Amino acid sequence: MSINETNSELLASLRPDTQLAGQTAIVTGSSSGIGEAIAHVLAASGAEVVVSGRDAARLQGVVDSIAAAGGRAHAVPANLAGSYADLRTFAREAAAALGGRVDLLVNNAGVYPVMPTEAMSDHDLDAILATNIRAPHVLVAALAPGMAERGTGSIVNIGSWMARVGTSSGAMYTASKAAIEQMTRNWSAEYGPRGVRVNTVAPGATLTPGNAEFVAALDAMTASTVAGRPVRPIDIAYAVRFLVSDQAEFIHGSILDVDGGMVGTRLKF
């Protein structure tokens, strides 16, 4: 693997392995970007994956791509900003698609309006609270008890480098990611003793289809980092695969930064 290879090139060249053979997984927000990469990587390692999102056609495209590569996937549409009943229905339908057993849950779906506080609409504020905080909480409440009853399972939440630094805009978004980090620690303490590992991957500035119009800004933000470039979705996916694998069996309640050194280092003063 070359650091100069693109996300698309790396996804297309994934080599199947058996790290997660026999495991089942739900990846929220997986019709594109980081979630799509996570779904592909988990499936390439043998997991049977539910991909979810609001666009049924895009979901089916991801499923077809995974199947073409020899993996197994199911499309289960979901609006994670919907009602509590909608979220619980999604959890049941996703579990049913996987034969009634969910081993891995990746809470990836999120919205990211980053703007000055006074510019944020009530609609955007509600969307952040519903998608970034409420949905992971409801899904964990619905699915973690089954994992705990079996004595095994893994949950990975997708956070952000912005959760632990102060920025001049995006207070609510960054607060939502700080919340998911704290929920990770609490859920680890709550479910870990019963065999369910809970961790967070915190991406740095990541180039995805959703922010492709800001590529120049992302390049500028990351030029002085150790990596010197934006994060690729597959970089996040590799970290998720590690955290749900047996190789990470002693990692509980941790925040894994995948940010090219953005938060932990400074090359220029």
Mean pLDDT by 10 residues, the chain (269 residues): 76 93 98 96 98 96 97 97 97 98 98 91 96 98 98 98 90 96 98 98 87 84 89 96 98 96 80
Q: Specify whether domain 14-256 bears CATH 3.40.50.720.
A: yes
Output the pLDDT for position 113: 86
- Catalytic residue set: 173
Output the pLDDT for position 215: 86
Output the pLDDT for position 169: 85
Output the pLDDT for position 269: 57
Chain-centre distance of CA 9, in angstroms? 20
pTM (two decimals): 0.94
Output the pLDDT for position 179: 98
Q: How far apart, in whole angstroms, are the C-alpha atoms of residue 105 and residue 94?
A: 11
Output the pLDDT for position 211: 79
Output the pLDDT for position 208: 85
φ/ψ of 48, rounded to 5, equals -90, 125
Whether 176 contacts 124, CB under 8 Å: no
